[in-house]
Amino acid sequence: MKKITFKNQSTMLRLAGTLLLTISSLASCDLNSDTYEPIFIIEPPMDGLMIDDEGIPRRNGVTEISKEMQEQIAHEVVGYGWKWLHTCEIDKHGAVVYQDYYKEHKDARYCNYYFPSATEMTTFSYLDGTNSPGHYDWNIDLNYTNGDVRLNIPDDKYFLLNIMSVFELDGKWYITTIERLGMNGGGLGISQNNFAYSEYIRMTDEELARFQQDYAFSWIYVNE
């Protein structure tokens, strides 16, 4: 499948409307195909990502996000819920693997997020390999300088995810992330050193309330 690379944000916004129509018409039916490839509104970096000293994939040469994006994280990300759309694994060399990760790993479960504040994050998910929904509340440190979200417990600033981009299209907000594949709603398996590129859409107030109701059970944190 031919991929589209956006050289800058303005080009991305001009073409995003066409991509959104493609998502609407193709994503749901292709999900059952063995050749399914997620169609992102913002494509992952086509030249790959660099791996930093912690083993975390990073945008090449980017150490600080723009002031505009910092404001977007503060006002358009924090305080809202985020519903999962797509996930692709990032290999050990920083290349994005264009396969739907959760189709290939049927027992793995994706997360949906809610950021009540810059120090709190809730994950809504099913426990791996089960049909048991629940949530886990994390104490986090959201770094507005680089978009990192890390655990905020004594002597542990463990990386959970990085907010790569925040953007609005047709009145809807989206984020893309680099995140640990080992993290699920119960905080299980987060020592796993695998990463993914994912895309999320912001929940409406009604959707967030429904997630809070449907995933009301609170998981006990287990750090394996």
Pairing of strands 81-90, 112-117: antiparallel
- What CATH code is assigned to 49-214? 2.40.128
pLDDT at 191 over 60: no
From the number of C-beta atoms within 10 Å of its C-beta (0-12, 13-18, 19+), residue 65 rates as buried
Pairing of strands 159-169, 50-51: unpaired
Q: For residue 127, what are the CA distances in angstroms to 62, 107, 138, 201, 207?
A: 34, 9, 16, 22, 20
pLDDT at 199 over 90: yes
Residue spans of the domains in the chain: they are 49-214
pLDDT for residue 39: 73
Predicted confidence (pLDDT) at residue 30 exceeds the cutoff of 90: no
Instruction: Round to whole Å and give the CA distance between 148 and 194.
Output: 16
Q: Which residue has the higher pLDDT, 95 or 223?
A: 95
pTM equals: 0.78
| pLDDT on residue 163 | 95
The Cα–Cα gap between 91 and 112 comes to 23
Residue-level pLDDT at 166: 95
Residues in a beta bridge with 135: 124, 218
Predicted confidence at residue 139, as pLDDT, reads 92
Q: Report the SS3 class of residue 207.
A: helix
Average pLDDT over every residue of 88-114:
85
* More confident call, 84 vs 2: 84
Choose the weakest-confidence range: 103-107, 140-144, 157-161: 103-107
- Tell me what the pLDDT averaged over the chain comes to: 77
Cα angle 53, 200, 130; round to 5 = 90
Tell me the range of 36-40, 107-111, 131-135, 184-188 where mean pLDDT is highest.
131-135
Question: What's the CA gap between 181 and 191, in Å, rounded?
Answer: 10
**Helical ranges in the chain per DSSP H:** 9-30, 67-72, 101-104, 205-214
Q: How confident is the model at residue 219 (pLDDT cuts 50, 70, 90)?
A: confident
- pLDDT band at residue 154, thresholds of 50, 70 and 90? low
